[in-house]
């Protein structure tokens, strides 16, 4: 999205939450950190003269997405979400779809298992105290979040062959993942399919109704349609 906006000459600001120590460089001016809730985001939109907001956050970053809906409604800012299609089961999948993190914990077996926790580094404490051995794949090195866990530091997109090798090397018996959608992290699902491993898949959280595009190209078309022939607009 950032590359497309920069290539189109759109004046824009790229906003990071600040949870990743070494974020990927972007071809746009960058701000890092929270806004301070709906009121803080609304103030920022007004102060910076933002006319369009593209919500391209992770599908599980429900709070900032909800804040964006409210702040855009309050300020009259045009809003579009760039959201990947959710993953859908295919033939050969052994998926156990659960509504939230607590349900994912409850869905694990009572006996010790080797679990690939593909959920990032937040909320890992929910899995502490269980008899399982965990494999964690994190973007940044971090203090040991779960006793006895094996940690792999890596950044996607991942490959099926790479994930097959990773799961075999660690003797993975179960996978816990969030239904983030998209292609960058889907390799683990294909690997699980080939290995006939059960996947506990957490459904996306609720976000208030908002317009959604499924591709960068669709967002660019939306921007052009909305203000075709008008002076340059400012977006975030």
DSSP of 198-233: EEEEEPPPP-----EESSHHHHHHHHHHHTTTSPP-
What is the reported pLDDT for 14? 93
Q: Which residue has the higher pLDDT, 157 or 166?
A: 166
Summarize the confidence of residues 37-59 as an average pLDDT: 95
- Check: CB of residue 69 under 8 Å from CB of residue 210: yes
Going edge to edge, which strands form the sheet with 133-138?
Answer: 94-98, 198-202, 174-178, 114-118, 133-138, 150-153
Summarize the confidence of residues 67-71 as an average pLDDT: 98
Query: Which domains does the chain carry?
Result: 2-85+206-235 (3.40.50), 94-202 (3.40.50.720)
d(CA 183, CA 173): 23
Q: Is the pLDDT of residue 53 over 50?
A: yes
Q: pLDDT band at residue 21, thresholds of 50, 70 and 90?
A: low
What is the reported pLDDT for 235? 58
What is the reported pLDDT for 234? 56
Least confident interval from 18-22, 125-129, 149-153: 18-22
**Burial annotation 40-58 (CB, 10 A radius, 16+ → b, else e):** ebbebbeeeebbbbbbbbb
Mean pLDDT across the chain, nearest whole number?
91
What is the reported pLDDT for 16? 87
Helix 187-195 × helix 160-169 angle, to 10°: 60
Q: Calculate Rg over the CA atoms of the chain.
A: 20
Query: pTM of this prediction?
Result: 0.85
Closest listed residue to residue 206, CA positions, set 61, 34, 17: 61
Summarize the confidence of residues 169-191 as an average pLDDT: 94
Summarize the confidence of residues 213-228 as an average pLDDT: 88
What is the reported pLDDT for 176? 98
Phi, psi of 23 (to 5 degrees): -65, 155
What is the reported pLDDT for 122? 82
- Check: CB of residue 158 under 8 Å from CB of residue 187: yes
d(CA 105, CA 123): 11
d(CA 38, CA 42): 6
Q: Is the pLDDT of residue 19 over 80?
A: no
Summarize the confidence of residues 61-84 as an average pLDDT: 96
Q: pLDDT band at residue 147, thresholds of 50, 70 and 90?
A: confident
**Helix segments in the chain, DSSP class H:** 2-7, 37-48, 62-75, 101-107, 160-169, 187-195, 216-226
Model confidence pLDDT, tens digit, residues 101-140: 999 999 999 999 999 999 988 889 999 999 999 999 988 7
Q: Is the pLDDT of residue 149 over 80?
A: yes
- Check: CB of residue 154 under 8 Å from CB of residue 94: no
DSSP letter (8 states) at residue 44 = H
Phi, psi of 74 (to 5 degrees): -70, -35
Q: Is the pLDDT of residue 28 over 70?
A: yes
What is the reported pLDDT for 184? 80
What is the reported pLDDT for 231? 47
What is the reported pLDDT for 141? 76
- Check: CB of residue 45 under 8 Å from CB of residue 75: yes
């Amino acid at each position: 999205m950032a590359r497309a906006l920069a290539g189109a000459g759109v004046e824009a600001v790229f906003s990071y939450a600040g949870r990743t120590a070494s974020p990927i460089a972007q071809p746009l001016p960058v701000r890092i950190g929270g806004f301070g809730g709906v009121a803080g985001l609304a103030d920022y939109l007004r102060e910076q003269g933002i006319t369009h907001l593209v919500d391209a956050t992770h599908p599980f970053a429900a709070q900032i997405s909800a804040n964006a809906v409210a702040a855009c409604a309050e300020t009259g800012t045009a809003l579009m979400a760039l959201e990947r299609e959710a993953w859908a089961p295919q033939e050969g999948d052994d998926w156990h779809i659960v509504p939230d993190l607590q349900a994912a914990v409850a869905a694990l077996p009572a006996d010790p298992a080797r679990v690939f926790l593909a959920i990032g580094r937040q909320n890992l404490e929910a899995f502490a105290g269980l008899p399982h051995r965990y494999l964690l794949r994190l973007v940044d090195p971090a203090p040991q979040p779960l006793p006895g866990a094996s940690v792999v530091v890596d950044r996607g997109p991942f490959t099926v062959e790479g994930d097959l090798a990773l799961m075999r090397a660690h003797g993975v018996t179960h996978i816990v993942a969030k239904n983030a959608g998209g292609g960058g992290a889907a390799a683990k699902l294909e690997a699980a399919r080939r290995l006939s491993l059960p996947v506990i898949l957490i459904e996306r959280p609720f976000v208030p109704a908002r317009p959604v595009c499924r591709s960068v190209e669709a967002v660019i078309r939306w921007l052009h349609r909305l203000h075709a022939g008008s002076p340059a607009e400012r977006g975030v």
